[in-house]
């Protein structure tokens, strides 16, 4: 069996370790692959996920007037031997994947990571298999789809058992609040400033994806956080950091931070999240602390409460680690991907160009 994996630039940056494990697992199961990777706007080739796999780079999503040309250029490169399934990961790859599948007359699979993709699913009725990263997202897809199989597959995570030293200097990692949530972000930043004032021994990290907002940067400066907080710019560099953190705060668990939550839990961090709706690993008061309110005082109470109550913090962290490690096993993830690919290859509704 030969599959195409089309992965956009953001997904490649954020989740390269998980995607590489999936690709390696597919190879070991005898599934050949060609990778089509999204390039930055300057068109530079991307580093392959694995060695010895054919890799092609293209801009994702393609410019409107360039779509036909992009698909025409890629098609002969990836069809030198028959292709059974095309799977895309990352919204930027969706257009390229659809164009290639139509041209090559092959079925489509989609790796679905975030809640807002559910609302877009009805616009993509010819996707044969949806690979959902949580049961909640899988259930949401099933409720809206007119066509397609839904399979749940957690990102594969391999971490050594946590051997945490006493929190002589606890670390707090605050993840990006997501676009359009400036007011919520200000409350969280005010809470972080209050917690750090009470706990000057704590080390803090703040992720503002791509700088998110100049207004937020001004708030960071106004609150005196520039000297206390290390600001990081994108999810991809945070994996080892969240896995070793004392507390990880996610104000938007369905947003860009969704891939870091299982990583943090597998590492033994205690989670503080605004919601548990789209991530079934998050169970309030068991594997996550949800603030009573989302103003500054509510966030400060949730974060500061875990800092001052080590028994509660350890209980939440240990329960979360146990649940996440059980759900994110690499063998389970690869088996689900193989099932998704097999289900797609058995499609009878293609070629999609004739629908």
| Same domain, residue pair 298 and 274 | yes
| Same domain, residue pair 182 and 68 | no
56 strand-pairing partners: 36
| Same domain, residue pair 23 and 115 | yes
Is 198 within a domain?
yes
| Same domain, residue pair 8 and 77 | yes
What does the pLDDT read at residue 190?
A: 93
Phi, psi of 288 (to 5 degrees): -155, 145
| Same domain, residue pair 72 and 16 | yes
Residues belonging to the chain: 355
What does the pLDDT read at residue 355?
A: 40
pTM: 0.87
Q: Give the count of beta carbons closer than 10 Å to the beta carbon of residue 116.
A: 12
What does the pLDDT read at residue 234?
A: 65
Task: Domain of residue 295: give its range.
Answer: 171-327
| Same domain, residue pair 57 and 181 | no
| Same domain, residue pair 35 and 123 | yes
| Same domain, residue pair 10 and 138 | yes
Is 164 within a domain?
no
Is 13 within a domain?
yes
Residue 2: DSSP 8-state: E
Alpha carbon distances (Å) from 241 to 113, 220, 222: 21, 21, 26
Q: What is the mean pLDDT of each run of 10 residues along the chain (355 residues)?
A: 93 88 95 91 76 89 86 88 92 92 91 84 86 92 90 90 70 79 80 94 83 72 88 75 92 76 93 90 95 94 94 95 94 95 76 46
| Same domain, residue pair 17 and 130 | yes
Is 317 within a domain?
yes
Judge contact between 7 and 27, C-beta under 8 A.
Answer: no
Coil, helix or strand at residue 210? helix
| Same domain, residue pair 44 and 128 | yes
What does the pLDDT read at residue 176?
A: 80
The two structure tokens encoding residue 277: 């709706």
Q: How many domains does one find in the chain?
A: 2
| Same domain, residue pair 232 and 106 | no
d(CA 99, CA 106): 11
d(CA 123, CA 197): 49
Q: Domain containing 66 — which CATH number?
A: 3.40.50.2000
Is 8 within a domain?
yes
CA angle at 112 for the pair 130 and 284, rounded to the nearest 5°: 115
| Same domain, residue pair 93 and 120 | yes
């Amino acid at each position: 069996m030969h599959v195409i994996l089309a992965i956009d630039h953001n997904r490649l940056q954020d989740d390269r370790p998980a995607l590489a494990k999936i690709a390696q697992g597919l190879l070991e199961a005898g599934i050949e692959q060609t990778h089509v990777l999204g390039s930055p706007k300057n068109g530079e080739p991307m580093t392959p996920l694995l060695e010895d796999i054919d890799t092609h780079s293209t801009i994702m999503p393609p410019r409107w007037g360039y779509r036909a040309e992009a698909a025409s250029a890629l098609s002969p490169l990836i069809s030198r031997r028959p292709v059974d399934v095309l799977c895309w990961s990352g919204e930027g790859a969706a257009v390229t994947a659809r164009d290639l599948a139509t041209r090559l007359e092959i079925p489509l699979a989609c790796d679905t990571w975030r809640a807002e993709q559910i609302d877009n699913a009805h616009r993509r009725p010819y996707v044969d298999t949806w690979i959902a990263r949580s049961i909640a997202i899988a259930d949401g897809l099933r409720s809206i789809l007119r066509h397609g199989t839904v399979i749940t597959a957690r990102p594969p995570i391999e971490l050594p058992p946590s051997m945490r030293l006493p929190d002589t200097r606890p670390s707090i990692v605050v993840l990006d609040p997501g676009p359009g949530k400036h007011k919520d972000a200000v409350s969280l930043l005010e809470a972080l400033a209050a917690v750090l004032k009470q706990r000057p021994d704590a080390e803090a990290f703040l992720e503002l994806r791509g700088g998110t907002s100049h207004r937020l940067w001004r708030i960071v400066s106004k609150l005196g956080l520039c000297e206390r907080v290390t600001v990081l710019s994108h999810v991809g560099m945070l994996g080892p950091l969240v896995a070793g953190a004392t507390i990880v705060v996610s104000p938007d668990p369905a947003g860009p931070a969704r891939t870091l939550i299982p990583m943090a839990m597998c590492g033994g961090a205690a989670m503080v999240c605004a919601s548990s709706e789209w991530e079934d690993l998050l169970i309030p008061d068991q594997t996550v602390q949800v603030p009573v309110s989302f103003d500054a005082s509510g966030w400060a109470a949730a974060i500061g409460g875990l800092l001052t109550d080590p028994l509660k913090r350890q209980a939440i962290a240990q329960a979360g680690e146990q649940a996440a490690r059980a759900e994110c096993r690499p063998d389970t993830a690869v088996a689900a991907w193989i099932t998704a690919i097999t289900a797609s290859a058995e499609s009878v509704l293609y070629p999609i160009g004739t629908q």
